[in-house]
């Protein structure tokens, strides 16, 4: 078995988890390849001493890998996606912080879950991604697993977002911004702005305005085969576009095109940590004594 490892180091909270993972895989003779910057941190913190092979770009990951283990939180998984891309390598998130919707494996049960990984007794949840085309297209990381967001820059003034679906005019949102969310991202920024929760496997996207001035504007669920075009205007010369946590500045009145990517990300699903269980735990569903 060949496993890639990517992660974030959060002082003492992460140290025991990392040690448990390395001890388990080394004991079972699993080949480990560690992300270069993460490995330097592990050496500096003296968490491990053994020499390991490394990867530094998506080109270093190929079909020879069985799985990528992401150690951290949901944000760490979103960064891991930029390495995996269209390779098809499954991603398993090991939670080293607060309870997340993606990083589901908890440190208390890590031994049990790693054994499931070793025996490949897990399921795969295929997650839709969004691609973004801009006038510049100066980055090869033009995709997002959670959401594509346009928002105002350093100004209190609203922006206007003309929105088209498959070439047909939908609406002009007067707002602080607009979120185009995947089912995976529906439990993120979109949810905090009043958007609905989607099951991970539905073939839909969510358009969610951020603090809209036209109060009749509401989140809208659309089919994921729609091509979305946005034209943003405002008092400033530029506005912000983000793909998950990667932010860039775009000129006023530029046309943005958003559509689902031709590939999906394979997320590892552990039987004991289902999406519904995560919803109940994260949102405290069922905690009301009247239930």
Active site residues: 74
The answer to whether the beta carbons of residues 5 and 37 sit under 8 Å apart is no
Within a 10 A sphere around the Cβ of 194, how many other Cβ atoms?
13
Cα 103 to Cα 275: distance, rounded to the nearest angstrom: 11
Cα 137 to Cα 180: distance, rounded to the nearest angstrom: 18
- Geometric angle at alpha carbon 263, from 69 and 139, rounded to 5°: 85
The answer to whether the beta carbons of residues 188 and 147 sit under 8 Å apart is yes
Tokens in use for 4?
């890639």
Burial of 51-82, coded b for 16+ CB within 10 Å and e otherwise, reads: eeebbeebeebeeebbbbbbbbbbbbbbbbbb
CA-wise closest residue to 218 among 208, 228, 226, 206: 208
**Sheet of strand 67-72: strand arrangement:** 53-55, 31-35, 2-7, 67-72, 91-95, 265-269, 123-127
CA 182 to chain centre: 10
């Amino acid at each position: 078995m060949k496993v890639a490892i990517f992660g974030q180091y959060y002082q003492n909270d992460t140290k025991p988890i990392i040690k448990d993972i390395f001890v388990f895989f080394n004991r079972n003779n699993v080949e480990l390849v560690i992300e270069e910057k993460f490995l330097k941190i592990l050496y500096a913190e003296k968490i491990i001493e053994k020499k390991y092979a490394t990867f530094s770009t998506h080109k270093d990951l190929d079909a020879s890998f069985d799985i990528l283990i992401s150690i951290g939180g949901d944000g760490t998984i979103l960064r891991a996606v930029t390495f995996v891309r269209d390779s098809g390598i499954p991603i398993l998130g090991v939670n080293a912080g607060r309870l997340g919707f993606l990083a589901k494996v908890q440190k208390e049960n890590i031994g049990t879950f790693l054994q499931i990984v070793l025996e490949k007794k897990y399921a795969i949840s295929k997650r839709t991604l969004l691609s973004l085309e801009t006038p510049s297209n100066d980055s090869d990381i033009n995709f997002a697993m959670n959401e594509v967001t346009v928002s105002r820059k350093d100004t209190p003034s609203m922006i206007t977002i003309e929105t088209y679906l498959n070439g047909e005019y939908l609406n002009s949102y007067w707002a602080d911004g607009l979120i185009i969310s995947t089912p995976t991202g529906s439990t993120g920024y979109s949810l905090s702005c009043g958007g609905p929760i989607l099951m991970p496997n539905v073939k839909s996207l969510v358009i969610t305005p951020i603090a809209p001035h036209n109060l009749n504007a509401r989140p809208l669920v659309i089919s994921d085969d729609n091509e979305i075009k946005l034209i943003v205007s405002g008092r400033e010369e530029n506005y912000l576009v983000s793909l998950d946590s990667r932010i860039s500045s775009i000129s006023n009145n530029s046309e943005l095109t958003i559509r689902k990517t031709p590939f999906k990300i394979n997320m590892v699903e552990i039987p004991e940590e289902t999406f519904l269980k995560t919803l109940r735990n994260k949102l405290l569903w069922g905690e009301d004594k009247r239930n």
